[in-house]
Amino acid sequence: MILNSAATRTELFERQLCVLDKICWTLTRSLDLNPSLDEVLKILHNEAEMKNGLIALKDYEMEHLFISAVHSDSDEVQRAKGAARYQQGEGLVGSILKSQSSLVLPNLANEPRFMDRLELFELSLPFIGVPVKDHKGDVVGVLAAQPTSDPQRFLAEECRFLNMIANLLAQLLRLLGEVEHQQQQLTDERDELRRRVRGKFGFENLMVGHTPTMVRMFEQIRRVSKWDTTVLLRGESGTGKELVASAIHYNSPRAHNSFIRLNCAALPENLLESELFGHEKGAFTGATRTRQGRFEQADKGTLFLDEIGEISPMFQAKLLRVLQEGEFERVGGNKTISVQVRIVAATNRNLEQEVRDGHFREDLYYRLNIMPINLPPLRERIEDVPELVNFLLDKIGKSQGRSLDISNNAVRKLMTHAWPGNVRELENTLERASIMAEEGVIEENDFSFNSAELMGGNYTPMASQVAPHIAPPVAHLPKEESFTEFTDSGDDTDMDERRQVIAALEQAGWVQAKAARLLNMTPRQIAYRIQTMNIEVRKL
């Protein structure tokens, strides 16, 4: 049946030009393939007087064509579409795939190759099928339709018109292939980054040490990672609070969302508010655009607030509201923003004392202290030093592209240090020593301890830093021993601690274990004092 008659070739070309314009606009509007193909066939039917449109695409694994889109109101045709496949040379569609050229049939009823698998085409109408070729000239699909406008007169023109559309489809397929390839690359890179992150922040990188305190801490971290509970990490600088916070996030259900960090002590209060809550354009001088704060950036993820004990009482009230309600306003704005953020906070302060002194809000303290985790200082787990040394040397060696080793004497020397800088100081000390160890084996003479240098070479830990097993400084020597020959005065109570240690070492023939007994110390305690007091040990 003829729907409309194109009286002249000019009218046909004008109609085809309008159709091409609509198809171009359709194909540039979306990168969703199947809806775009359906729309192209719909335009051919409604605007180009070409009905029963079909688009078949190549399955590269199976080397056959499958039906990707048909224009039909029949449910039977749509169901048959999913099962129809065409091998090379099979049926009309397979013949176009094999010949890689267009096929024009003035009368479909007279064609013996027609298989009519879909029951789509009308035998009384012509059939035009054209190949869809990629930039290499290989057939990647077939476009077919039946012209209804004066079909016997302009078949060559209609075939050329379908070839133009096939070229547009080829460009769409090429673009989609490139997008898919790029998306796959991004997916692969994302998965690789996730593997690296899990490797870096996995529990195996935290669980270095076997002391009971560390084993208990590891178990706490493992358990709390499963939930959204607020965590308060407590410990001295250098104990690994940020590493623990990262491990909690990347081993939690929020691992695929953002992990945002902020050191609360690094910014003044006015900038801290803008940094956490964001600001609107024009909120203050220099606010040239609206900016999201850390809370918005961490939505559905985790926000790590380091040095939480440093914020002022006034700002504590603002922070409390966000933690309680999950709502805030940007600086200079009046729109309430809701977020769903897990908080991991950290501090090296005694928050209980801060609360008693009125420096820290009690309600904020209880809001943060839901799941406290204490990170012990390194001097309280000296037994873990050898294991930590091996772990850190492996890490440093990978960064330097070589294998590093350490002598037993060097490890023993590390175990006598008090580590006021904790694991961070240990890692820095090992990295400095590795630079001095040209052959890759660290010896005891390769070490330098920055903590002692910073304290003028006579570093003595504060009372709060002294481990329970380290005895306090010696006030006087045991009465049963005499060291008067090493002093300007016979009054031992006037002798400073460094001179007392030297005197005991002289008395003991520079045998540290014997000198320790004279001072009622352990060998570890006297070795610590020898190190921190820069006492040069004599070789007798």
- Residue 3 in any domain: the answer is no
CA distances from 372 to 215, 238, 367, 430 (A): 15, 18, 11, 31
144 shares its domain with 55: yes
Q: What is the pLDDT of residue 200?
A: 63
Does any domain span residue 236?
yes
Q: Which of 415, 447, 470 is the last residue of a domain?
A: 470
- CATH number of 27's domain: 3.30.450.40
Does any domain span residue 187?
no
- How many domains in the chain? 4
Query: Which run of H or E residues covers position 486?
Result: none
* Mean pLDDT for back-to-back runs of 10 residues, the chain (540 residues): 56 88 87 88 91 88 83 82 82 90 88 83 90 90 86 81 93 86 79 65 70 90 93 93 92 91 86 90 84 94 94 90 92 91 95 93 95 94 92 92 93 91 93 91 87 40 35 33 36 61 83 82 78 76
- Tabulate helix, strand, coil % of the chain (nearest 5): 50, 15, 35
Q: Say whether both 147 and 279 belong to one domain.
A: no
Q: Residue 77 and residue 114: Cα distance in Å, rounded?
A: 16
Q: How is residue 166 written in tokens? A: 């096939």
Q: Are 492 and 427 contained in the same domain?
A: no
Strands (E), 244-381: 259-263, 302-306, 327-329, 336-338, 342-347, 371-374
User: In the chain, how many H helices and how many E strands?
Assistant: 19, 15
Whether residue 139 is contained in a domain is answered as yes
**What span, in angstroms and rounded, lies between the C-alpha atoms of 11 and 384?**
89
Is 64 a domain residue? Answer: yes
For residue 508, what is the domain's CATH number? 1.10.10.60
DSSP string, 323-390: HHHSEEE-BT---EEE---EEEEEESS-HHHHHHTTSS-HHHHHHHTTEEEE---GGGGGGGHHHHHH
| Widest pairwise Cα distance in the chain | 130
Residues 229 and 360 occupy one common structural domain:
yes
Residue 184 lies in a domain: no
Tokens of 15: 């109609």
What is the pLDDT at residue 79?
78
One domain, residues 389 and 368 = no
| Cβ neighbours, 10 Å, residue 315 | 16
Of 434, 394, 378, the residue nearest 238 (C-alpha):
378
Q: Please name the amino acid found at residue 31.
A: L
Q: How far apart are CA 510 and CA 245, in angstroms?
A: 46
| Residue 492 near residue 518 (C-beta atoms within 8 A) | no
The tokens of 45 are what?
Answer: 């039917």
The helix (run of H) or strand (run of E) holding residue 112 is none
pLDDT at 194: 63
pTM above 0.85, yes or no: no
Beta strands in 272-361 (DSSP E): 302-306, 327-329, 336-338, 342-347
Of the three residues 411, 435, 470, the one that is the final residue of a domain is: 470
Q: With contact defined as beta carbons under 8 Å apart, do 392 and 432 qualify?
A: no
Which DSSP state fits 52? E
For residues 147-163, b (16+ Cβ closer than 10 Å) or e, as one string? bbbbbeebbeebbebbb
Q: Determine the Cα–Cα distance for residues 96 and 88; give it in Å rounded to an integer.
A: 8
CATH code, domain carrying 396:
1.10.8.60
* Statement to judge: residues 22 and 115 lie in one domain: yes
Whether residue 514 sits in one domain with residue 448: no
Which residues are CB-contacts of 137 (< 8 A; sequence separation ≥ 6)? 100
CB 79 within 8 A of CB 162: no
**CATH number of the CATH domain containing 244:** 3.40.50.300
User: Would 183 be classed as within a structural domain?
Assistant: no
Q: Residue 410: its pLDDT value, please?
A: 92
Closest CA to 157 of 299, 325, 6: 6
Rounded to 5°, angle at Cα 17 from 16 and 18: 90
Query: Would you call 430 exposed, middle or buried from its count of C-beta atoms within 10 A (0-12, 13-18, 19+)?
Result: buried
User: Is there a single domain that holds both residue 265 and residue 336?
Assistant: yes
Q: Which pLDDT value is given to residue 177?
A: 83
Which pair of structure tokens corresponds to residue 3? 């729907």
Q: Which of 275, 333, 268 is nearest to 303 (CA)?
A: 275
In three-state secondary structure terms, 158 is helix
Is the domain of 269 the same as that of 258?
yes
Cα 301 to chain centroid distance, Å, stands at: 11
| Cα–Cα distances in angstroms (integers) from residue 115 to residues 89, 91, 415, in the given order | 12, 6, 85
Same domain, residue pair 405 and 492 = no
pLDDT at 205 (0 to 100): 64
H-helix or E-strand spanning residue 146: strand 139-147
3-class DSSP assignment, residue 5 = coil
Range of the domain at 530: 473-540
Does residue 420 share a domain with residue 499? no
Same domain, 149 and 26: yes
**540: in domain:** yes
* Cα torsion angle, 252, 254, 258, 259, sign: negative
CA distance 36 to 434: 62
